């Protein structure tokens, strides 16, 4: 499979200003939300991106779609660097790159009918409001498991799972090649989560869409993804085939995440790895490896140097893996 979209040394930095005097004297606090990451997503592939809250997952997804302007680096879509384009130059690419938002309650306009919400992307790209458009919207509703006869209802008349299906239909309207699914199951009941995951997987197989599936739920990511990338404090610390990362994690952070998952059989459960302390404040990053203050295996090299992601199919950013 060829790379559909590729990040090269992507950085997204924000400044947390602490008053006029601090700004005047150049003492703003720099937050490295995404710090020099590189990976690709292949045509028709689902890449799962996992990590704790605040690790930079959503910022990465939004930067890939240019919803957030990156500080530096490249976002290559079929070889074209989206990061270098102006808003007007970017517009033709928007139809191929879409997003499913986390919260199905706040991401839908309550004053618009379901039909208008799903039709909006089509209208933005030249469709005419006629019977053909209505038929197309009804087909999209059927495709995501919604009853077409509910086209004139409003979002508040639907359940959370149904609202997320509306959001998925809206994302599918322009038949994109790449979709960022930003925590699409986090706000849903457990029973509904499985339905949405299965729907996304079916759409990927049927339409050949590539997904960046962002979640903190490792089991959901393991089920839906072809590959998994693990993120910690703005950096990718492990990347590889989903089964291999899940069953044979190499980075201590990935190992700790997986050890915290509840096991179906309590007798077969391995000992949980307890990390020390809490993640540092994003504007006070530790020197060396960002994970070393919490890592049970850290040694001197980890405290002074930053490891790079190394390895061909299963990549790890850890000095411990280098010594194995």
pLDDT of residue 281: 78
Reading the block at residue 69, the tokens are 């302007």
DSSP annotation of 180 reads E
Q: How many Cα atoms are found within 13 Å in the side-chain-facing hemisphere of 299?
A: 6
Model pTM? 0.92
pLDDT of residue 20: 54
CA-to-CA distance for 65 and 61, rounded, in angstroms? 7
Q: 257 — phi, psi (to 5°)?
A: -60, -45
pLDDT tens digit string along 166-211?
A: 999 999 999 999 999 999 999 899 889 999 999 999 999 999 999 9
Flag residues of the chain having pLDDT under 50: 21
């Amino acid at each position: 499979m060829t790379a559909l979209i590729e990040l090269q040394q992507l950085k997204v930095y924000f400044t947390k200003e602490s008053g006029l005097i601090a700004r005047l004297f150049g003492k703003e606090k720099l937050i490295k939300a995404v710090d020099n990451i590189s990976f690709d997503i292949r045509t028709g592939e689902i890449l799962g991106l996992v990590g704790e809250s605040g690790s930079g997952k959503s910022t990465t997804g939004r930067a890939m779609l240019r919803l957030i302007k990156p500080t530096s680096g490249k976002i290559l879509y079929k070889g074209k660097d989206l990061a270098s384009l102006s808003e007007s130059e970017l517009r033709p690419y928007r139809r191929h790159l879409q997003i499913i938002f986390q919260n199905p309650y706040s991401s839908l306009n309550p004053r618009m009918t379901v039909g208008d919400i799903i039709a909006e992307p089509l209208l933005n790209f030249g469709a005419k409001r006629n019977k053909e458009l209505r038929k197309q919207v009804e087909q999209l509703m059927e495709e995501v498991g919604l009853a077409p006869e509910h086209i004139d209802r409003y979002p508040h008349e639907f359940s959370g799972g149904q609202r997320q299906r509306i959001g998925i239909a809206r994302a599918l309207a322009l038949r994109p090649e790449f979709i960022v699914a930003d925590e699409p199951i986090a706000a849903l009941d457990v029973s509904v989560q499985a339905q949405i995951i299965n729907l996304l997987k079916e759409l990927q197989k049927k339409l050949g869409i590539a997904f960046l599936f962002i979640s903190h739920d490792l089991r959901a990511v393991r089920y839906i993804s072809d590959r998994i990338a693990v993120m910690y404090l703005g950096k990718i610390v492990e990347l590889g085939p989903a089964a291999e990362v899940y069953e044979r994690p190499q980075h201590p952070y990935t190992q700790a995440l997986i050890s915290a998952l509840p096991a179906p059989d309590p007798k077969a459960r391995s000992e949980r790895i307890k990390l020390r302390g809490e993640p540092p404040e994003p504007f006070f990053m530790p020197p060396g490896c960002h994970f070393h203050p919490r890592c049970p295996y850290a040694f001197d090299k980890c405290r002074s140097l930053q490891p790079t992601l190394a390895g061909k199919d299963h990549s790890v950013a850890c000095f411990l893996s280098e010594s194995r």
